[in-house]
Structure 1
Amino acid sequence: MAISHTQLKAFHAVALNGGFTRAAQQLCLSQPAVSDQVRKLEDYYGVMLFLREKRQVRLTEVGERLFGMTQRLFDISADAHDMLMDYRTLSTGTLNLAVDAPVHVLPYVARFCARYPGVDVKIETGNTDEVLERLFGYQTDIALLGRSIEDERLMTLPLRSDPMLAFVAHDHPWAQRESVCLADLANEPLVLREQGSVTRLSLEEEMAAAGLRIRKAIEVEGREAAREAVAIGMGVGVVSAAELGSDSRLRGLPIDDSRHRFTETLVCLRAQSSRRILTTFFDRVREELEGGC
C-alpha cells in the first residue's frame, strides 16, 4: 500500500503546530480526526512518531526524521502550486508560433506580449506545408497558414483575406502602369516561390484555369528571396497584397482579372486547445477581430 498523503498531512500539521488542537484548526478538521490519521500511520508502520505528554506532544527520533521529509514534500507541493498558478494566470510560460508570414500575426503578438509580459513568445517561419508539419509534430503550439483548411484535428480562426498582387522593380517597364492582367503575366518571366508555397500554387492554378502558361525566370525559397530577385530585375513576382510592404525598389500592381484571394488562418491542435495559454491567445485575437481592431 502506498503511504497515505492524508496521514502524512495530518502528521506534518501536528509536528508543525506542536499539538493536535492547533493542527486540527489549521486543517479545518476535528481533533479526533487528526489524531485518528496519525494513529493509523503509526499503527501501519509499527512506530511511535510523537511522545504524548499531558500538555504537549514531542517528536520522537523517527518522528523528527519523518518531519524533515514531510517539510521537503510540502515545500515542493507549495512550489508546484505556485508554478501552476503562474501558468494559470499567464505570469510565465512559453508560446511557440510557426507562421507562413509574420506580418499577419505580429500586431496580435505585440499586444499579447504587452498584456502578458511574463510569457516568452517565439516565432519561426516557413511555408504553409512546413508550419503545418511542425504543428502536427508537436514542435509548435500555434500555426498560421496561408490557406483555409478543414481538418477535424484542428481548431481554426480565419484572420484575413487579401487579393493577389503582382510586383516589379521600380525601373521595370510596368512600373508606371496602374494594373496588369493574367495574360500579361504569361508574357513575362516570373520569379516563383518554392514548391509547397501557397503563393506559387495559387498562381499556377489561376493561370491554368485561364488557359495560360507560366514562364519561369527563377525559383527561390521564401518571400525575402523573391523580393530581392524582383528588385534586381530578374522578373515579375506575385504576392498577397498584404505582404508586399513598403519598399522603394518595388511597385505593386493589382491583377484585374484575378479572382483568387489569399486567406490567413490561425490554427492549433484541438487536442491542445484547452491549454490556458492557447485559449487566451485565441480569445484575444478573436476579440480584436470582432472589435474591428
Structure 2
Amino acid sequence: MKLSSSARRALHAVLISGSYAAAARHAGVSQPAIAQQIKSLEQHCGAALFERRDGYLAPTSFCEELIVLTEKIDALEEQAARLLERRHSIHTGQLRVGLGNSMPGMALIAAFQREYPQVNLSVTLSDFAHIIQGVVEGQLDIGVLPNVPPDERFVRETLIHQEVVAIAHPDDPVSRFSRLDCEQLMQVPLIFRSRGSSTQALVDTAFRKAGLKPRARLVLDTRDGVYEAVANRLGVGFMWRHGTGRTDAIHRIAVTGMGPPCPESVFRLVESQDPVIRAFFVAAKNFRRHAEVLRPR
C-alpha cells in the first residue's frame, strides 16, 4: 500500500487537531472521510495509530515513527514543487550578461541557450571597468571577465585560465616568432587599448617592469578594433589568447613578462536570488568541465 497524499493529510490533521471532527474542519473534508482514511491505514499496518486520552486522540508510538517519515515525504514533495516552479520561471525569464571578451563568454551563452532557448538574453560587450560597474550597479545580472577582483560582493565561477598574447598579421616579420619580449616589441608599431581594459593593464605592467615606455601607433576603444587594425597590418596588438572564436590567420604570440595565465570567471552579486541567474551558474560549472579545448596551449 502506498501512502497517498490524502492519507498523509488526514494523519497530520488528526495529529494536530486531536479529533476526527476538528481534523475534518482543518483539512476541509467530511468527518467520515477522515475516519475512513485513518481506519484504512490502521488495517493495512495492523496497528493502532491513535488512542483516546482524556477526550483527545493521541498518537501511538508507531504513529509517531510514521509521522517522522511522512513529514520527510512532504518536505521532498515541497522541494520538488519549488524546483518545478523555478524551472518554469527560468524558461520565461530574462538575463543581462556583460562580456569583457567575446570568448569564452559567447560559448557559454550558446550552451545556456541550448538548455533554455526561451530565456531572453541581452549581451553587452565592453571593457573591464564598465562590466564591473554594470554588475555592481545592477545594470547587468552577470559579468564574464578575466582577473575578477577579490570582492565580498561577488560570487564567481572560473571558466578557464588564459594569458595575454601579442597578435600579428601573418605577413608581419614578428609573426615567425613563437615568443617575444618587451624589448623586441619596442621595435614594431604597437596597437593599444584605452584605459579601463584589463588587457591593457597587463600590457602596461609588463613594459613598466621591463623599464620601457612604449608609444602606441593607435589606441582603440574595443578589442575588435584592435583585431581589425592588426588584420589590416597597422601593427602588433594584444588580446587574451582565447578572447575570440575567429579562426583566421592572425598569429597569437606568447610574450615574456606578461605574467602567468589568469582565471576568466563568471560573477554576480551575492544577493542575487533570481533562478535564471543561478541556472546560468550551473551552466558555467558544466562548461568548465568540458572546456579543455579552450585551455592555453
Q: 2:170–2:251: 8 Å Cα contact kept in structure 1?
A: yes
Instruction: Please name the residue that 1:200 is paired with.
Output: 200
Q: Secondary structure at the match of 1:131?
A: helix
Amino acid at match of 1:269: L
Q: Which runs of 5+ in 1 are unaligned?
A: 1-24, 33-83
Distance, in Å, in 2 between the alignment partners of 1:31 and 1:138 is 52
Residue 245 (structure 1) shift: 4.5
Residue 202 (structure 1) shift: 0.5
Distance, in Å, in 1 between the alignment partners of 2:184 and 2:109 is 38
* C-alpha RMSD of matched pairs (Å): 2.8
Instruction: Please name the residue that 2:162 is paired with.
Output: 162
Residue 291 (structure 1) shift: 5.8
Instruction: Please name the residue that 2:153 is paired with.
Output: 153
Q: Secondary structure at the match of 1:102?
A: coil
Instruction: Please name the residue that 1:17 is paired with.
Output: none
Q: 2:160–2:291: 8 Å Cα contact kept in structure 1?
A: no
Distance, in Å, in 2 between the alignment partners of 1:131 and 1:144 is 8
Most deviating of 123-132 and 228-237: 228-237
| 1:21-40 correspondence to structure 2 within 5 Å | 28-29=27-28
Deviation digits for residues 45-99 of structure 1, max 9, x if unmatched? xxxxxxxxxxxxxxxxxxxxxxxxxxxxxxxxxxxxxxx9376552211111011
Q: 1:207–1:214: 8 Å Cα contact kept in structure 2?
A: yes
Report the CA distance shift for 1:215/1:26 in structure 2 as closer, same or farther (over 3 A). Answer: farther
Instruction: Please name the residue that 2:191 is paired with.
Output: 191
Residue 221 (structure 1) shift: 0.9
Number of aligned residue pairs: 220
Q: 2:206–2:257: 8 Å Cα contact kept in structure 1?
A: no
The answer to whether 1:108 aligns with 2:100 is: no
Distance, in Å, in 1 between the alignment partners of 2:164 and 2:150 is 22
Q: Secondary structure at the match of 2:163?
A: strand
Instruction: Please name the residue that 2:226 is paired with.
Output: 226
Question: Structure 1 runs of 4+ off > 3 angstroms?
Answer: 25-28, 84-89, 244-249, 290-293
Q: 2:156–2:265: 8 Å Cα contact kept in structure 1?
A: yes
Instruction: Please name the residue that 2:286 is paired with.
Output: 287
Report the CA distance shift for 1:248/1:29 in structure 2 as closer, same or farther (over 3 A). Answer: closer
Distance, in Å, in 2 between the alignment partners of 1:87 and 1:29 is 31
Report the CA distance shift for 1:207/1:195 in structure 2 as closer, same or farther (over 3 A). Answer: same
Q: Identity rate of aligned residues, in percent?
A: 20
Distance, in Å, in 2 between the alignment partners of 1:286 and 1:131 is 21
Amino acid at match of 1:110: A
Distance, in Å, in 1 between the alignment partners of 2:98 and 2:163 is 23
Amino acid at match of 1:90: I
Q: 1:162–1:240: 8 Å Cα contact kept in structure 2?
A: yes
Residue 257 (structure 1) shift: 4.5
Distance, in Å, in 2 between the alignment partners of 1:127 and 1:188 is 25
TM-score, normalised via structure 1 length: 0.67
Residue 138 (structure 1) shift: 1.1
Q: 1:157–1:266: 8 Å Cα contact kept in structure 2?
A: yes
Report the CA distance shift for 1:255/1:151 in structure 2 as closer, same or farther (over 3 A). Answer: same
Amino acid at match of 2:281: F
Q: Which runs of 5+ in 2 are unaligned?
A: 1-23, 32-83, 293-297
Residue 30 (structure 1) shift: 5.5
| 1:1-293 correspondence to structure 2 within 5 Å | 28-29=27-28, 85=85, 88-243=88-243, 245-246=245-246, 248=248, 250-272=250-272, 274-290=273-289
Distance, in Å, in 1 between the alignment partners of 2:135 and 2:194 is 20
Report the CA distance shift for 1:162/1:205 in structure 2 as closer, same or farther (over 3 A). Answer: same
TM-score, normalised via structure 2 length: 0.66
Distance, in Å, in 2 between the alignment partners of 1:87 and 1:187 is 56
Instruction: Please name the residue that 1:9 is paired with.
Output: none
Residue 238 (structure 1) shift: 1.1
Q: 1:87–1:93: 8 Å Cα contact kept in structure 2?
A: no
Residue 262 (structure 1) shift: 3.8
Q: 1:170–1:248: 8 Å Cα contact kept in structure 2?
A: no
